[in-house]
Amino acid sequence: MLHHNFIPTISYSPESKYIYPLKTSSFDPSQSSVGNSLELISKSRKSFSLSRSLILNNKSRNSISVKDLQSNQPEEAEMASTAGQVIRCKAAVAWEAGKPLVIEEAEVAPPQKMEVRLFSSLPFATLMSISGKPRGKIPSFHESSAMRLQGLGATLNVAKPIKGSSVAVFGLGAVGLAAAEGARLAGASRIIGVDLNPARFEEAKKFGVNEFVNPKDYDKPVQEVIAEMTNGGVDRSVECTGNINAMISAFECVHDGWGVAVLVGVPHKEAIFKTHPVNFLNERTLKGTFFGNYKPRSDLPSVVEMYMNKELELEKFITHEVPFSEINKAFELMLNGEEKSAVAWEAGKPLVIEEVEVAPPQKMEVRLKILFTSLCHTDVYFWEAKGQNSVFPRILGHEAAGIVESVGEGVTELQPGDHVLPVFTGECKECAHCKSEESNMCDLLRINTDRGVMLNDGKSRFSKNGQPIYHFVGTSTFSEYTVCHVGCVAKVNPTAPLDKVCVLSCGISTGLGATLNVAKPKKGSSVAVFGLGAVGLAAAEGARIAGASRIIGVDLNPARFEEAKKFGVNEFVNPKDHNKPVQEVIAEMTNGGVDRSVECTGNINAMISAFECVHDGWGVAVLVGVPHKDASFQTHPVNFLNERTLKGTFFGNYKPRSDLPSVVEKYMNKELELEKFITHEVSFSEINKAFDLMLKGEGLRCLIKMEE
């Protein structure tokens, strides 16, 4: 879910004499807060809602006076003249899911039984009906009220902290900050904010939070940390994230004897709350709440009065304002949100989990929610700044799987909800390479390690406090959300487990395709694989699938031989065990040479050996590994004249969009085993552990779970 800590404000259009009232029926419990709803009753009397938006007069929200309000009220005769008639007004209509709203002139039918139609030239009629009289200098209460009431009421009406008490608030998004505001109003002396994102702590001080706890800073449960801080537990806690572990912590961190915990966030439908019964027997209380326990018509007037009496501050929640004609900008602000990304600020330094802004996709782009990613040697190579033109700050990552969140202009093959694999190279389907049956080297979208921006406008979609953060090979999957060119995204079977098929978006497909698509060994043939890392083992897996009878693994590290047996390797050669070139060793083992060889190390000597070890007359050697930029391949021309073939390949000769879905199906049909490639798993917050494992040479692929 995108995280949003601000309320965009939409200015009122004078041409439209129609107000969009607050309706608790528009509450979506899956969101982090409750917003306003925009209701349009059309000819068919259908309606739609737009959360967290308000139509404002073009005047400043703080410059509206009583005189302004009175002078702008519609004449009674004007109102009477429209009673019982259809009114035409402007409305922002959502014609299709995920598409920009369109400002249309719509018809609003007269109200039927138990309905009202609101009519005003200023959007304060609802406020006036609540307070019973015009008010001067009224800010936009609407757009903040519902959101704030959810958290505010959870504290004031349900938790009910007393003056001088302690309150812990779990989650410092908009609802959590409103809960903290409630604790401040109640006079709590200690308001402890609990959040995984330390960037939120400074903002939270404005809402009364005076102590902070980041669970990631401790090696014990956060409830124990809070209990130690507060001599046994806080008096009250309010949980506003919906995370089941946070809910349990919020309950177990309150003091026995009198502690009360209130749950606000909506958990996953399959979540189970687990705690020891003694926590209840020790006189702790657990409560839940909806809309802060406020009755809309009975209680909202008193909340308005709290603001009017300057007990309640609303202005600090409002961060943006746009005119009605630019309503789609409000959606962009909301969708941009702040997402967690692992940012490489400097070469070789640990990645830092940051909240960054991820802009909406532009023309021919898609925004993806990344669910699983893994670490490849290429990520480490550029993180260490061994690339020719490494740029920082940068979001690395290119092996991943996720779901389409939104699409930009011109995208027709993908839609929100599609399961996809982002790929470091692309397929435009228009260039000579894409139209060729032999090539996958797309002119437009082939890998470019130096480019850190999008093709469409030369800008990055990532930023932090206005500073651009650069992309990496068009994917940047070390982020909860990323933006890719549509040509670099392969749609796959929605039933395929994304935590397995994510490894197909780079190394595994590269090695597999090098064997199956380029070397093409026949059943019963012999294949030598140079380098038994993840790519080499994928090449061996390809030889196994093709039915090769002899699969010879060549590696300087004998510790890899046992693992390689799982991938079909049945013979092993360590060049260090012989006093002659390894190509001669293999030729002697195979009566003149192997039928096929696949080189996966990038070492120039291994490349030469892989070529010279294949049989004359029909032998084919395929180069996969990327050599040093100054390396030079040297061999006697007679090796070619004796009818040996040397080929190179890129991404296993797979066209990403056309071919990857079929590779996924190989896995689904149990022809291809992927589980054995995944040797480690870490959470996103532990991503630097994946780098440590890679640098130590431990394992093959480390799966990184984006959702904690």
- Active-site residues: which are they? 376-378, 398-399, 428, 431, 434, 442, 446, 506, 701
339-343 and 526-530 strand pairing: unpaired
Q: Are 372 and 704 in contact (CB under 8 A)?
A: yes
Residues 6+ apart with CB under 8 A from 3: 32, 173, 337, 338, 339, 355
Please give the structure tokens belonging to residue 260: 């009360």
Helices then strands, counting H and E runs in the chain, come out as 22, 28
Which residues are bridge partners to 550 per DSSP? Answer: 526
Q: Are 646 and 636 in contact (CB under 8 A)?
A: no
Please name the residue ranges forming H helices in 83-216.
125-131, 142-153, 174-186, 201-204
The single-letter DSSP state of residue 351 is P
- The gap between the terminal CA atoms of the chain, to the nearest Å, is 13
Q: Considering only CA atoms, which of 175, 245, 142 is closest in space to residue 3?
A: 175
Q: Are 264 and 243 in contact (CB under 8 A)?
A: no
Which residue, chain included where needed, has tokens 């898609």?
Answer: 366
> φ and ψ at 572, to 5 degrees?
-135, 145
Secondary structure string (H, E, C) spanning 39-65: CCCCCCCCCCCCCCCCEECCCCCCCCC
> φ and ψ at 374, to 5 degrees?
-140, 165
Give CA–CA dist 683/435, Å, rounded.
Answer: 40
Please give the structure tokens belonging to residue 146: 């519902």
The dihedral region occupied by 214, where left means phi > 0, alpha psi between -120 and 50, and beta the remainder, is beta
Q: Are 30 and 266 in contact (CB under 8 A)?
A: yes
Give the Cβ contact number of residue 210 at 10 Å.
14
